[in-house]
Amino acid sequence: MPSSNINSVIAVLPVKDQDTAVGWYKKLLGRDADIVPIEGVAEWQLAESAWIQVTTDPERAGSATVIIGVNDIDSQCALCAVANVPHGEVIEYPEIIKMIEVFDPDGNKIAFVQDISNMA
């Protein structure tokens, strides 16, 4: 892609019950939201220019998928266990990625993915 004007990404996760969802994401991410700009919206910064936003939107709740890159899938599995957030089995696409999936209370899918393409 040629030079881009894009400088950040925010993934929006629609939920039915904001309080339940924010509590779940606090467990998953191990901390409170970084900002709550307005009622019904909570945001966590995951990397320099990467955010997730949990927002009340009952009609669309459970329809999102977010892929989050991690350095080590085994470490992420351990962090999920500490947070008491169940995850699926590690799926490996040899020489490409390893990944796990978790689902928030509304059914939004969060996939944690480790790039293993340069591991040899």
Which residues, 6 or more positions from 103, have their beta carbon under 8 angstroms from its beta carbon?
Answer: 109, 110
Give pLDDT tens digits for 29-46: 999 999 999 999 999 999
Domains of the chain, residue spans: 9-115
CATH class of the domain comprising 9-115: alpha beta
* Residue of 116, 33, 9, 28 whose CA lies nearest to 70: 116
Give pLDDT tens digits for 53-77: 999 999 999 999 999 999 999 999 9
Reduced to 3 states (helix: H, G, I; strand: E, B; else coil), residue 7 is: coil
